[in-house]
Structure 1
Amino acid sequence: MASLEDIIRGRRSIGKVKPDAVPKELVEKLLEAATWAPSHHRTEPWRFIVMMGEGRSALGRAYADIAAETWGEISAEEREQRQEKEAAKAFRAPVVIAAVCSPSELPQADEREELAAVHAAVQNLLLTAHANGLGAVWRTGAPSYHQRMKQAFGLAAREQLVGLLYIGYPDMPIPQAERAPVAEKTVWME
């Protein structure tokens, strides 16, 4: 088995995956790893919405509705083609997980720290996916923050979609990456 350091260094965003189903038990393993992220005051502010099969349709409809706001006057045929193209985004991977920040009501809970905890949970999930031979990509962007997306997932007023995690078996070579030397990003105060 690869070392934790190798898993961290080897993980990449894999946007092209095979349509092959991912076993539910493996998805549960990813979610379990996510829940071991640190959280201030042990609030565990994460929530996950797992979409597989036709369960991805709600996401597809939300993508299409959000995009349609910018189309203006177009023919019914063009509208239908564009809706299909937008809805297909939800089917780019056999598993899509919406990572949600559901902040605690505790007075000492800071929403910035709650978001940071969910980001850490997502990283745990991505690393576990990589360690188990899966490819994954963490997608955000304007649609993720749109009110229609919150509606699609039934999010409460204070909840936020942190990202959509597309997961499957890689259908592309895992790219190599470089990082700037840590010395360029570190200040020592002794």
Structure 2
Amino acid sequence: MSLADGIRARRSIRGLEGPALSAAEVEALVELALLAPAPHHTTPWRFAEVSASRRAALADAMGEVWRADMTADGVPEAQQARALDRSRRRVEGAPTLLLGCIVGEGL
């Protein structure tokens, strides 16, 4: 399967392994992601490649918000700890981390 076919299939695959993507591969992925349907012929997508040195800070910030949400939802602390640890390992352990965001500009 080609990279383009894989993206068009739009599946989430957790646990990909391998070397970090090259700059050209990241650029190709972003170009394909920009083909996703959006209203009014807009491209409300923004992407950021998160460097390895910034991933711990990202995991901390995400974890604080998620922990507050889980606490408000009554999730037991032990379950929170497992979920946060799993999330941190994914964020920090990914060979390449692209963060996709939706913005309201131009919609």
- The TM-score range, normalised by the shorter chain, is 0.5 to 0.7
Unmatched 5+ stretches in structure 2? 72-80
What is the match of residue 49 of structure 2? 50
Q: Identity percentage over the alignment?
A: 30
Letter in 2 for 1:103: G
Question: How many residue pairs were aligned?
Answer: 92
* Residues 45, 103 of structure 1: 8 Å contact kept: yes
Matches of 1:91 and 1:19, distance apart in 2: 14
> For residues 100 and 12 of structure 1, do their structure 2 counterparts lie closer, same or farther at Cα, with a shift above 3 Å needed?
closer
What is the match of residue 15 of structure 1? 14
Letter in 1 for 2:92: F
Matches of 1:63 and 1:104, distance apart in 2: 24
Matches of 1:16 and 1:89, distance apart in 2: 8
Matches of 2:66 and 2:33, distance apart in 1: 31
| Correspondence list, 1:95-110, <5 A | 95-105=96-106, 109=107
How high is the TM-score relative to the length of structure 2? Answer: 0.60
What is the match of residue 66 of structure 1? 65
Greater per-residue strand proportion: 1
| Correspondence list, 1:145-160, <5 A | none
Greater per-residue helix proportion: 2
> For residues 37 and 67 of structure 1, do their structure 2 counterparts lie closer, same or farther at Cα, with a shift above 3 Å needed?
closer
> For residues 34 and 67 of structure 1, do their structure 2 counterparts lie closer, same or farther at Cα, with a shift above 3 Å needed?
closer
What is the match of residue 29 of structure 2? 30
* Structure 2 counterpart SS, 1:13: coil
Per-residue CA deviation, residues 94-143 of structure 1 (Å, 9 max, x unaligned), is 222222111135xxx4xxxxxxxxxxxxxxxxxxxxxxxxxxxxxxxxxx
Per-residue CA deviation, residues 31-85 of structure 1 (Å, 9 max, x unaligned), is 0112233433332111112213223223211233235433xxxxxxxxxx88x83
How high is the TM-score relative to the length of structure 1? Answer: 0.38
Letter in 1 for 2:16: V
Matches of 1:67 and 1:12, distance apart in 2: 24
Question: CA-atom RMSD, angstroms?
Answer: 3.2
